[in-house]
Amino acid sequence: MSTPGRVEITLLGQTLTVRTEASPDYLRQLAEYLEERVGALIRGGMKDPMAALTLAALDITDELFRAREDQSRQDGDVGQRIGALVEMLDRLAPGPTPPRRA
């Protein structure tokens, strides 16, 4: 595990120092994405930047939760399909019969 570094990012004109193991470029990319989402809300008529930041954070969190649900559902579907394929293969080509004991 690498040692956490300090990265400065700017959100809504405020500079924040974040201690992280992530690369500075990655963290700045995250901050830029959040700024874009906040900017879209402000351009849409929202006046309070902190309220826009909060709504953007909630919207992004909603996207994360939905993506997790979708992934979980897909994982379950894949598991069911694999199970069905294994059953079909077992029926079509049963494994070797165990040797008889005398």
Please report the pLDDT score of residue 95 as a whole number.
67
Please report the pLDDT score of residue 92 as a whole number.
82
d(CA 74, CA 77): 5
Q: At what angle do helices 49-92 and 24-43 cross, to 10 degrees?
A: 120
Please report the pLDDT score of residue 46 as a whole number.
94
pLDDT digits (tens, 9 = 90+) for 44-56: 999 999 999 999 9
pLDDT digits (tens, 9 = 90+) for 55-90: 999 999 999 999 998 888 777 777 777 878 778 777
pLDDT digits (tens, 9 = 90+) for 1-21: 567 899 999 898 999 999 999
d(CA 17, CA 27): 11
| Contact between residue 42 and residue 52 where contact means Cβ atoms under 8 Å apart | yes
88 CB-contact burial (10 Å; exposed 0-12 / middle 13-18 / buried 19+):
exposed
d(CA 89, CA 82): 10
CA angle 74, 71, 19 (to 5 degrees): 165
Q: How far is CA 76 from CA 20, 25, 32, in A?
A: 33, 35, 34
Please report the pLDDT score of residue 63 as a whole number.
95
